[in-house]
Amino acid sequence: MSDRLTFMMGEFEAEFPADRLYAKNHMWAQPKVGKIRFGFTAYAVRLLQDVYFLDWLCEAPASLDPGQEIGSIESKKAESSLYAPVPGELVEFNELLMEDPSAINTDKYDQGWLFEMSADSSELLSATHYIELLEDVWQTTQRTIKGQLNE
């Protein structure tokens, strides 16, 4: 098995490291000792295009519920709220992104990580299962994108 899986977003390839787990809200998760590091997947970054502003609504440490709003992001394509992918304790934000969030665009699976949590990873998906999720939502996503383009 390759160390990366690919999902075709029309003509664009979105790659996903097979050694990560994935949340349904399009974040990757990398288990570390005692915590999990989260960042945006290639799918999310491709849809957002050119992230240029990031803001957090809470401070670490903080107890988070799944789906709790924790921040917002602005990009060329959208303004979006950010939500906790799983329940747990917020440990740390990537402070470098506060000054310059461009690493989200250029190095999403390394320097562009968003935050770390102490959490249970059992609700997260394998790379293969995440690709299956994308296959299920891609048609709806395409219609949404085309609708935005026709406005």
Angle at 108 between CA 61 and CA 97, to 5 degrees: 50
Q: Any idea how long the chain is?
A: 151
Q: For 4-146, give the CATH class.
A: mainly beta
pLDDT tens digits, 27-76: 999 999 999 999 999 999 998 999 999 999 999 999 999 999 999 999 98
Provide the pLDDT confidence category of residue 77 given band limits of 50, 70 and 90. Answer: confident
Over residues 114-135, mean pLDDT: 96
Beta strands in 1-151 (DSSP E): 4-9, 12-17, 21-23, 27-32, 35-40, 51-56, 62-64, 69-75, 79-83, 88-93, 115-119
Write down the domain spans for the chain: 4-146
For residue 151, the model assigns a pLDDT of: 46
pLDDT given for residue 1 in this prediction: 43
